[in-house]
Every structure is written in structure tokens, then in C-alpha cells.
Structure 1
Amino acid sequence: MENLVVISGCSGGGKSTLLAELGRRGYEIVEEPGRRIVRHELDSGGTASPWLDAEAFIRRAMATALADRAAAAQAGWVFFDRGLIDAAAGMQRLTGEPVLAPLRDAHRYHHRVFLTPPWPEIYVTDPERRHGLAEAKAEYADLLQVYPALGYDVCVLPKTGVSERADFIERVLAQDSRP
């Protein structure tokens, strides 16, 4: 679906802040599945978290991303803080299951994917993000390969203020086909 836009990239690269800005501008936004799952697991005492049961966590992230995609509006830009491909890439890294290849033709998002690069100056951990910057950079390097391999055009976001980043995305999408 050409109106579903993924913002992915390095953990701690400013994705959630950017999504909040896009939401303030009137766009539909979808919060990162992983953060929602971790928050639920912390609140309920569950174990489907990256540090307790990574496979259960990633399987739930994939299911959540599929449900998010199905529930998204059919018109207008919809911005996702990560999505199915991020979760599938994590699953393939963890288990070796070939879950990425089918996503070349199924469950598509807009052809242009925006990636936030590593940005050590703003990187922080929190109760929902416990991994360090080195792990975040490794995941980013993987995503730089995964998205193009699945036929997506990657656009790395500049390290600028949140308003400038949102303006940049709006300009790039205006040059692409409208949803």
C-alpha cells in the first residue's frame, strides 16, 4: 500500500520524536510495536521481552506489525515507527528462519523507507530500550541491507531538528506519487 510509510533505522535515532511531530501535523502515526510489547510485558510481569525471551518478543512484534498494517487508514499518509520488515529482519537474525524473502512481494509499504542514522549525541537507554549503541548500530547496518534487498528505496534522514526532518519527509513524499 503506497500510503504506508516506514520510518526505521537506528534505535535512539529520533524516530519516536519524529513520529510525534508528524502526528502533530495531522498524519496518522503508528507507534513502534516493540515499545508497546515491552511496556505491556513490564506492566504485566510477562517474559516476551528482548532480554528475557527474544524469540517470543519478535514473534509478537511481527504479529503486531501485521495487525497495525491491516488497521491503517486507506487514504492519506500513514507513518509507522518501524514495522513488519524490522521485526522479520530481527527474527531472521535470531533464528535463521527465512522470513524476509516472502516480504519482497507481500505486505508492502510505500517504496521509500526513511532511516534514522546512528546519532550518539541523542542516544539514550530507558526501561523499554536497554541495549547499547553498538547493538543499535549493528541493527542499523543490517536494515541498510535488508530494505534495498526487498526492493525498497532507502532515504537516510539528515541529523537535523525534528521539524526539519518532518519537512524533509514531506518534501520527499511530495516528489513521490501521492497516496
Structure 2
Amino acid sequence: MIYKPNFFIITGGPGVGKTTLLEVLAKQGFPYVPEVARKIIREQVSQNGDALPWANIPAYTHLMLSRSVESFEQHQKQESVLFFDRGIPDTLAYAHLTHQPILPELRHTVQAFRYNTQVFILPPWSEIYKTDSERRQSYQEAIETYDIMFATYQQLGYTPIIVPKGTPEERAEFVINILKKHTPDRPR
């Protein structure tokens, strides 16, 4: 098992402001690793591939898992706080959401690569939710995704911390204050 207590996940359903929050944190000196799912979708669309959430769900899930592991491994030497726009356990939650069989490789991987036990999760927020060419889920699906994400992280021994709705700056302040409680020195 590889445990990186300085790796923090920011997760939630689609369209809840994760990337915006991460961009605000980055402006304050906290680096982050972008989400792999959107990159996969862009690549598959440009290559006329079918590993897409609306085409070949198992192939898409496999790519999500392998790319998430790659991004974790690429940053292993990082010693300061590093945020991830979604983590490896999101793939397990996605498999549950899409009613896929949970393969032994996936079960093993979510236990083998561990982030800080505190996971920041953003709740559904209808006022900011919108679809686009890569986000096709309905708002109801966004709610279901959140519920499954929350339960999956809890089942894996993580502590989900709900990031309250607010401006991106308020949300960033909330996250930083949580970090300060657990890392008294400036958490960088």
C-alpha cells in the first residue's frame, strides 16, 4: 500500500464547482492534478474512440482507473499538499453508479493507493449545475453520483468533509482552514 497523507481529493458529482475551487486554491499556491475523466472524453472524441460514458462504459472505466493510478504515481515524490480533482476511489463509485461488476483489480487498486483520509466533497447545487458536450448527466444523476461518491469514500475508510456552498473564495477558505487544523504549519 502507498499512503500519501499530503494528497487531498476534492470530489463530488458533476457540475458542483470542483475545478473552479481548485483554480482558486492554485492561485493561493496550492497545486492540483486535473481530473482525468474529461481528458479521456476529449481524447476519445477526437480519436473517434468509444471509451466514453455514453458508449463503452467498461472501457471508459478501465481508462479512468489506469489514468488515475498514473497521475497518483507521477506525483509520488511530492511532499507538500497536493490536491486531486477526483481520486482513484471515484472510479469505484462510478462502477457502482453504472451497475458494473466490481473487478478484483479495482478493489485492490483503491486499497493500494491511499490519499489523506479526509476527502473534500462538494454537494449538488442546482443553481450552478449545467451540462456541456462532456457533461451530459441530468441534475438528478448528479445527485445520485454525489450520494454514491459519499458512501463509497466512507466504505473505504475515508472521512468525507462537505464543502459548503458559497463563492469559490469562501470554499477555498473553508478547505484551507480544515488543512490548517491538521497541519499547524502553513500546509504547503
Paired positions, count: 179
User: Cα offset for 1:104?
Assistant: 6.2
User: Residues 16-165 of structure 1: matches in 2 within 5 Å?
Assistant: 16-72=19-75, 73-93=77-97, 94-99=99-104, 101-102=107-108, 105-165=111-171
RMSD, aligned α-carbons: 1.7
User: Cα offset for 1:175?
Assistant: 0.8
CA distance in 1 between partners of 2:13 and 2:30 (Å)? 22
Gaps of 5+ in 2: none
CA distance in 1 between partners of 2:35 and 2:126 (Å)? 20
Partner SS state of residue 8, structure 1: strand
Q: Is the 8 A contact 1:92 1:98 kept in 2?
A: no
CA distance in 2 between partners of 1:33 and 1:104 (Å)? 16
CA distance in 1 between partners of 2:6 and 2:127 (Å)? 32
The TM-score with structure 2 as length reference comes to 0.89
- Residue 96 of structure 1 aligns with an amino acid whose one-letter code is P
Q: Is the 8 A contact 1:101 1:150 kept in 2?
A: no
Gaps of 5+ in 1: none
Instruction: Give CA deviations for 1:112-144 in whole Å, capped at 9, x if unaligned.
Output: 000000000000001110111111111111111
**Which stretch of structure 1 is more off in the superposition, 109-118 or 169-178?**
169-178
User: Identity percentage over the alignment?
Assistant: 34
The TM-score with structure 1 as length reference comes to 0.93
User: Cα offset for 1:92?
Assistant: 4.1
User: Cα offset for 1:103?
Assistant: 5.2
